[in-house]
Amino acid sequence: MPTPLTRTAGRIARGTYSNLNSSIADLEEGEICYATDEDKLYVVESAALVEQPGLGTAQTFTAGQRGTVSAISVASGDTTKTLDFDTANNFALTLANTASCTLANPSNLTAGQSGSIFVIQDATGSRLLTYGTQWDFAGGTAPTLSTAANAVDRIDYIVRSTTSIHAVFTANYS
């Protein structure tokens, strides 16, 4: 992001919450305040200190949280695809140009990450998919894909640990 041509130097008030609150009249609207005794950030809004949530605080979202669906193609001769879970939560994996492909153990697993993988047959269909050892499906059995031309299946997942992905398979969307 380019640096704006006009900008105002920021001030950060620092002190205990009690001292900051008792000095609210001396603080400017929008000023950032750091409460040293609480290790929290506040912003002055309408003559009050409003706590700013940190990453360690549960968040309440007031709008939808969105990400892109990362398109992944299986090229001619590809026998393995490794998804990078740092790049997206949702993927569209189009099977083409190879009879069988392994959905390998993803890189960059973080416990709690969840998402969906749309598995799409190309116009030929009949492509097969096998799974790496970290994919855990209900009953311990890997699913069988829909094999019709252009069929769409979905794998919903949640990462349980850096070595275990719980997955639910739903076949034959459209």
Give Cα separations from 133 to 41, 52, 102, 106, 141 (angstroms): 43, 41, 10, 10, 12
Report how far residue 17's alpha carbon sits from residue 2's, in angstroms, rounded to the nearest whole number.
Answer: 35
Q: What is the pLDDT of residues 44-62, one digit of tens each?
A: 999 999 998 876 666 777 7
pTM: 0.67
DSSP 164: E
pLDDT at 63: 74
Report how far residue 15's alpha carbon sits from residue 5's, in angstroms, rounded to the nearest whole number.
Answer: 32
pLDDT at 6: 67
Domains of the chain: 12-52 (3.40.1620.70), 69-170 (2.60.120)
Instruction: Give me the mean pLDDT over the 132-144 stretch.
Output: 95
Report how far residue 87's alpha carbon sits from residue 109's, in angstroms, rounded to the nearest whole number.
Answer: 11
